[in-house]
Amino acid sequence: MAGKTLYDKLWDDHVVHTEDDGSCLIYIDRQLLHEVTSPQAFEGLRLSGRHPWRIARNLAVADHNIPTTDRANGIADPVSRLQVETLESNCKEFGITEFHMSDIRQGIVHVVGPEQGATLPGMTVVCGDSHTSTHGASAALAFGIGTSEVEHALATQCLVQKKAKNMLIKVNGKAGPGVTAKDIVLAIIGKIGTAGGTGYTIEFGGEAIRALSMEGRMTVCNMAIEAGARAGLIACDETTMDFYHGRPYAPKGDDWNMAVRYWQKLHSDADAKFDKVVEFNAADIKPQVSWGTSPEMVLPVDANVPDPAQEADPVKRQGIERALQYMGLQAGQKITDIRLDKVFIGSCTNSRIEDLRAAAAVVKGRKKADSVKQVLIVPGSGLIKQQAEAEGLDKIFTAANFEWREPGCSMCLAMNADRLEAGEHCASTSNRNFEGRQGYGGRTHLVSPAMAAAAAIAGHFVNIAEEGA
């Protein structure tokens, strides 16, 4: 019998019941809740007179539309305030733990989960947010769900799911200087496309993935959804266990030892069969910059923006034309000639301590270009903010005329006051460059934290691999 993939193992461990048609009732170990996708789920529970199946398996935090400036005066926008207050009252009513806006543990839900040890290896993790794939970095089966599924998981601790296919993306060899987890995952999406992983769970493996820290692994799994896969996975190893040891919600004492014995099995067997395998050579990957309105529209920083005239496929040609028009770019222009109006370093993709350190290392002793109107640094959680301040990173940023903010989603999706104006170009460490994502008419370029920081200083994109920055 062929061995099992990591995904097979996680799946088999959580099947409660199998229907005749192969769909399964899957047990959910952890649900994370936030203010945007939960109100209608709680409303549904109330309307049907149902209760959460296991209250303690839920953890809530408001992140999407809370202000990242001074919070003493609360939330100015009445609609945002209503959502945040609704989460609070729902959690109170149903007895669910919530990290309040004033709690140091508050932050972006996908940053907070692993940071607290609330999402652990071997778990099934769901959240009403597509970037739940982030938690797969710790060999947890984690995927985003819609609001009716949020209600379903609350009421039954289960979800009805069909098993996806297995894909392995192997990144061989060592990544060069200036090439981060973000560049690796952008290069992957650039190659396989935004629908390349549709119907699959993607396991990321190979030397370059193994060499990543947990933070880097989260960046990679975070963007699995941008490649079309609901879930991304990375096998459990020493890096994983070291990360979780001593976290508030992680097992302790004998439980820890027992958990570790189980977690050590959380990798694909050597003879496991994947439905699809795609290989990359890490040494070929350069720092990446997205130029268009889809994450697959991405190129190495030393490349030129594509020319639609060179594209034979009419659908693709039209796509390029439309993207260039929206982005206000000329066919064939150098990526390093794109001038930036704003820079955003944050989001569940790149707002962890390692990301802030990488940005600070580039910025140290330098200043924001005058042509750049605003640079926002938004840590992923209150604890990360505290850590960064203890290391003096905030001083490096403010000395460079960057703005040091409170944790939240912020300009990743511009639901709070942080947003782009129409036509503005932004170097952003977030995960989506769709039309209007960072503000109506805004033009997003996805990059790594170091690339974003370097662009803030130069006023345009620079190849940090060459600068040696």
Partner 1 sequence: MRAFTTLTALVAPLDRANIDTDAIIPKQFLKSIRRAGFGPYLFDEWRYLDHGEPEMDCTNRPLNQEFVLNKPQYKGAQILLTRENFGCGSSREHAPWALEDYGFRAIIAPSFADIFFNNCFKNGILPIVLPAESVDRLFNEMADGYQLTIDLQAQTITTPSGQNIGFSVDENRRHRLLNGLDDIALSLQHADKIKAYEAERAKRAPWLFKEA
When the beta carbons of 108 and 221 are compared against ligand SF4, the nearer one is: 108
Q: Work out what residue 146 binds among partner 1, ligand SF4, none; the CB cut-off runs from 5 to 8 Å by kind.
A: partner 1
Q: Work out what residue 333 binds among partner 1, ligand SF4, none; the CB cut-off runs from 5 to 8 Å by kind.
A: none
When the beta carbons of 90 and 430 are compared against ligand SF4, the nearer one is: 430
Q: How far is the CB of 23 from partner 1 (least distance, A)?
A: 5
Interacting residues with ligand SF4 between 392 and 431 (CB under 6 A) = 409, 412-413, 430-431
Our finding on whether 108 is near ligand SF4 (CB under 6 A) is yes
When the beta carbons of 129 and 215 are compared against partner 1, the nearer one is: 129
Interacting residues with ligand SF4 between 193 and 222 (CB under 6 A) = none
| Tokens 């207050």, residue located | 85
Contacts of 431 (CB under 8 A, 6+ apart): 131, 222, 223, 225, 226, 295, 347, 348, 349, 412, 446
For residues 326 and 423, give the distance between their C-alpha atoms in angstroms, rounded to a whole number: 8
For residues 275 and 166, give the distance between their C-alpha atoms in angstroms, rounded to a whole number: 5
C-alpha dihedral, 297 to 300 to 306 to 311, nearest 10° = -70
For residues 223 and 230, give the distance between their C-alpha atoms in angstroms, rounded to a whole number: 10
Our finding on whether 68 is near ligand SF4 (CB under 6 A) is no
3-state secondary structure of 126: strand
Q: Work out what residue 262 binds among partner 1, ligand SF4, none; the CB cut-off runs from 5 to 8 Å by kind.
A: partner 1
Our finding on whether 31 is near ligand SF4 (CB under 6 A) is no
For residues 50 and 116, give the distance between their C-alpha atoms in angstroms, rounded to a whole number: 29
Options 347, 374, 433, 463; binder of ligand SF4; rule CB under 6 A: 347
Q: Work out what residue 94 binds among ligand SF4, partner 1, none; the CB cut-off runs from 5 to 8 Å by kind.
A: none
Q: Work out what residue 267 binds among partner 1, ligand SF4, none; the CB cut-off runs from 5 to 8 Å by kind.
A: none
Q: Work out what residue 319 binds among ligand SF4, partner 1, none; the CB cut-off runs from 5 to 8 Å by kind.
A: partner 1
Options 348, 414, 451, 456; binder of ligand SF4; rule CB under 6 A: 348
Q: Work out what residue 196 binds among partner 1, ligand SF4, none; the CB cut-off runs from 5 to 8 Å by kind.
A: none
Binding mask 122-161 for ligand SF4 (x = CB under 6 A): -------x-x------------------------------
Q: Work out what residue 54 binds among partner 1, ligand SF4, none; the CB cut-off runs from 5 to 8 Å by kind.
A: partner 1
CA 394 to chain centre: 23
Q: How far is the CB of 430 from ligand SF4 (least distance, A)?
A: 6
Size of the site for ligand SF4 (CB under 6 A): 13
Q: How far is the CB of 104 from partner 1 (least distance, A)?
A: 20
Q: In what order do the strands lie in the sheet with 200-205?
A: 231-233, 200-205, 165-172, 276-281
For residues 97 and 56, give the distance between their C-alpha atoms in angstroms, rounded to a whole number: 8
Confirm if 60 and 49 have CB atoms less than 8 A apart: no
Please choose, from the candidates 152, 154, 138, 125, the residue with its C-alpha nearest in 3D space to the C-alpha of residue 230: 125
For residues 156 and 278, give the distance between their C-alpha atoms in angstroms, rounded to a whole number: 37
Q: How far is the CB of 211 from ligand SF4 (least distance, A)?
A: 25
When the beta carbons of 57 and 366 are compared against partner 1, the nearer one is: 57
Please choose, from the candidates 155, 169, 163, 173, the residue with its C-alpha nearest in 3D space to the C-alpha of residue 53: 155
What are the angstrom distances between the C-alpha of 421 and each of 329, 330, 414, 451?
17, 20, 11, 22
When the beta carbons of 19 and 275 are compared against partner 1, the nearer one is: 19
Q: Work out what residue 414 binds among partner 1, ligand SF4, none; the CB cut-off runs from 5 to 8 Å by kind.
A: partner 1
Q: Which residues of 201-218 are buried (b: 16+ CB within 10 A; e: fewer)?
A: bbbbbbebbeebbbbbbb
Confirm if 407 and 61 have CB atoms less than 8 A apart: no
For residues 115 and 304, give the distance between their C-alpha atoms in angstroms, rounded to a whole number: 39
For residues 210 and 236, give the distance between their C-alpha atoms in angstroms, rounded to a whole number: 10
Contact set with partner 1 (CB under 8 A): 16-17, 19-21, 23, 25, 27, 29, 36-37, 39-40, 43, 48, 50, 53-54, 56-57, 64-65, 79-80, 82-83, 86, 122-123, 128-130, 144-149, 151-152, 155-158, 160, 162, 194-195, 198-199, 228, 230, 251, 255-256, 258-259, 262, 294, 315, 319, 413-415, 432, 434-437, 440
Confirm if 301 and 287 have CB atoms less than 8 A apart: yes
Q: How far is the CB of 170 from partner 1 (least distance, A)?
A: 23
Options 14, 64, 217, 267; binder of ligand SF4; rule CB under 6 A: 64
When the beta carbons of 74 and 262 are compared against partner 1, the nearer one is: 262
For residues 171 and 210, give the distance between their C-alpha atoms in angstroms, rounded to a whole number: 9
Q: Work out what residue 347 binds among partner 1, ligand SF4, none; the CB cut-off runs from 5 to 8 Å by kind.
A: ligand SF4
What are the angstrom distances between the C-alpha of 169 and each of 163, 216, 282?
19, 16, 12
Residues in touch with ligand SF4 (CB under 6 A) = 63-64, 108, 110, 129, 131, 347-348, 409, 412-413, 430-431
